[in-house]
Structure 1
Amino acid sequence: MRWLVLVLVLSPWPAQAAVLAAARTLPAGTIITAADLRAVDGDRPGLSDPSEAIGLQTRITIREGRPLQAALLQAPRLIARNQIHPLTFQRGPLRIVIQVRTLSDGAAGDVIRVMNLESRTSISAVIQPDGSLLATN
């Protein structure tokens, strides 16, 4: 039994990888910057490369010291629900711009439902990287 304890004490422990953790409490919806991150040693899973987190938005409040995981982050929301926003419909030389109410949140590339304020009909729109809305077919 003594040799087992001796073997366990002398055996090298597996190296713990550094993971990224919140440097401060990050409320839901916070866009992650380099100042919001710190490296910690730990056995809990998490992101290890800062480029995987910087520029993303938190889904929930992340307490200080908690390791960051991909499931806690999302692409930044460019459109919020219930906003009045211009929608562009373009086919060849024809271009129509109308005012719509957004029916959900969305990030660049997301297809969301919007409501035409004049006709009260629902339309699908794609959120562009600049935050504008483009009607889909």
Structure 2
Amino acid sequence: MRWLALLLGLYGALPALAETVVVTKTIRAQDIVTADAVRLDPAPIPGAYAALGDVIGQEARITLYPGRPVMLGAVGEPALIDRNQIVELVFVRGGLRIVTEGRALARGSAGERIRVMNMASRSTLFGTVTGDGTVTVSNE
């Protein structure tokens, strides 16, 4: 019985292993999160990031305030394309490759699907942002 009490006492004295990423200074929406703007807090909070590496270098989707945890979805990949930016539209099918100018109708990061307007025809279509900042369009 004494051993059980000793073991329970030891487990009660162990620190919590989970941590939460907390903001140390205001981070505006669309700003990149830097190492000096966040810290780890020992209190685990469900739905919040638990590792600094998951947050640092990401773009804030909303304004983050000091002392509050960084919740999942509050940060994401930095945008490569801004709204109203002139972008290169690329259409590829088989051996055919068409390249033209377009205007982005939304912000987007690599892999995101955004609306764009073909500058020549003024038609609106959807495309996927690539890592080099071009938009690949399809007729689907």
The corresponding residue for 1:27 is 28
Structure number with the higher strand fraction is 1
Name the residue aligned to 2:112: 110
The answer as to 2:71 corresponding to 1:69 is yes
The amino acid that maps onto 1:90 is V
Percent pairwise identity: 37
CA distance in 1, matches of 2:110, 2:42: 34
Q: CA deviation at 1:77?
A: 1.6
Report the number of matched residues: 127
Instruction: Supply the distance in 2 between the matched residues of 1:43 and 1:94 (Cα, whole angstroms).
Output: 53
> Within 2, Cα distance between the matches of 1:92 and 1:43?
51
Q: Distance in 1 between matches of 2:78 and 2:61?
A: 10
Aligned match of 1:48:
50
In structure 1, distance between residues paired with 2:136 and 2:73: 28
2:78 and 2:98 map into 1 onto residues whose CA distance is 28
Are residues 93 and 68 of structure 1, via their aligned partners in 2, closer, same or farther at CA, if it must alter by over 3 Å?
same
After superposing the two structures, state which structure 1 stretch, 105-114 or 36-45, moved more: 36-45
- Once the two structures are TM-superposed, the CA of residue 34 in structure 1 deviates from its matched residue by 2.3
Q: What runs of 5+ residues in structure 1 fail to find an aligned partner?
A: 1-11
Normalising by structure 1, what TM-score? Answer: 0.78
Alpha-carbon RMSD across the aligned residues, in angstroms, is 2.3
What is the rounded CA distance, in whole Å, between the counterparts of 1:122 and 1:43 in structure 2? 45
CA distance 1:15–1:55, shift in 2 (3 Å):
same
The Cα of 1:42 is off from its aligned counterpart by: 3.3
